[in-house]
């Protein structure tokens, strides 16, 4: 049974995603990706790219304060 499955997967390998073709290649089932750059941004674009844990944010805040206390950075208000 495993050999049959492997044979099928190899026979139709072009239908599967790879590191170079992440969406696969199934003709007739192509995927359209619509990128919205207009405000308001979609929810997935509004969130942080790499959400940090509270512990990581606290450590980052401590490090920022250390750099500022050394005079290596100036606080900027936006």
User: Mean pLDDT in each 10-residue stretch from start to end of the chain (78 residues)?
Assistant: 84 74 65 69 69 86 84 57
**pLDDT value for 60:** 86
How far apart CA 63 and CA 2 sit, in angstroms, is 54
**pLDDT value for 72:** 54
Q: Are 17 and 24 in contact (CB under 8 A)?
A: yes
Residue keyed to tokens 């005079």: 71
Q: Are 15 and 24 in contact (CB under 8 A)?
A: yes
**pLDDT value for 14:** 75
How far apart CA 77 and CA 66 sit, in angstroms, is 18
């Amino acid at each position: 049974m495993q050999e049959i499955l492997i044979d099928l997967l190899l026979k139709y390998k072009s239908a599967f995603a790879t590191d170079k073709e992440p969406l696969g290649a199934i003709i007739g089932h192509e995927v359209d990706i619509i990128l919205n750059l207009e405000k308001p941004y979609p929810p997935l674009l509004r969130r942080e790219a790499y959400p940090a844990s509270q512990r990581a944010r606290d450590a980052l805040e401590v490090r920022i304060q250390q750099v500022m206390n050394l005079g290596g950075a100036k606080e900027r208000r936006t």
